Chains A and B, each alone.
Chain A
Amino acid sequence: MRVTVKLFARLKDLAGTGELIRDVPAPATVQTVWTSLTAEMPSLVEYERTMSVAVNAEYARMAAAVHDGDEVAFLPPVSGG
């Protein structure tokens, strides 16, 4: 199955892109997508403990199920306002 991955702020800079498409085996969770991503881009791993994640623009947990066509976002600590 295929998911769209969105990256923001410094995670985007580290990856060199804010959006990429990943193929992951079903059944998958956010963790599956993250593991696949960091295998290819180890520099992202430093965010594992501090980032938040979202599925289809709703906050989610690493254990949340991911389905074909979903958008999975990885968000560094926020600094709005």
Chain B
Amino acid sequence: MALAVVTRDPLDLQALTREIAEGAAGDGAVAAFTGLVRDHNQGRKVRFLEYEAYEPLALRVLGRIIEEASETWPGVRVGMHHRVGRLEIGEASIMIVAASAHRAHAFAACRYAIERVKQIVPIWKHEHFEGGEVWLEGATADPDDEKAKLTAYRIACA
């Protein structure tokens, strides 16, 4: 299993954790983040989400975030799986697992990774709510924007 994955299949936290923890004799900590589809957003009652990705670029950018994390916290290993297609309420859209010698870096890398996903990974939510549908638009993706990177780092270390 690859560390960076974009898939239409349901995500499997145990499999990703196994992959990250394999051969992790020097690690004392594994932190995980799972993002779920919420039943409400900005006052709207959400029915389901459809995720769309520019897949080849999304894979590269996930890989880039994994590299950024391991440069920032040497020795940390990160895996990120993002699901696309139609997702029902309560289903997992993203899973991130980070392993490290100590918990602080595992938690920080995990948080950094999800913040960077929201900044630069070319994936979009098409929200289907009671009464309509809308494409959600967050950040203008610019992987070279050092300010955005610093913001993600600050949130991770807060």
Binding site for B on A (CB under 8 A): 6, 8-10, 12-13, 50-52, 54, 57-59, 73, 75-81
Contacts and interface: CB of A to CB of B under 8 A. Distances in A.
User: How extensive is the interface on chain B, given as a class?
Assistant: 20 to 34
A9 B123 CA distance: 9
Given A80-B51, A81-B117, A8 B35 contact: no
Across the A-B interface, the 5 shortest Cβ-Cβ residue pairs: A80-B123, A9-B124, A57-B56, A79-B136, A77-B137
Chain B contact residues: over half helix, strand or loop, or mixed? mixed
B54 A6 contact: yes
Contacts of A77: 137-141
Contacts of B128: none
User: Which of A6, A13, A57, A80 has its CB near the most chain B CB atoms (within 10 A)?
Assistant: A80
B125 A79 contact: yes
A59 B124 contact: no
Given A59-B141, A78-B139, A80-B82, A8 B93 contact: no
Nearest to A54: B57
A8 B122 contact: yes
Contacts of A9: 52, 124, 126, 135, 137
Contacts of B143: 59
A13 B135 contact: yes
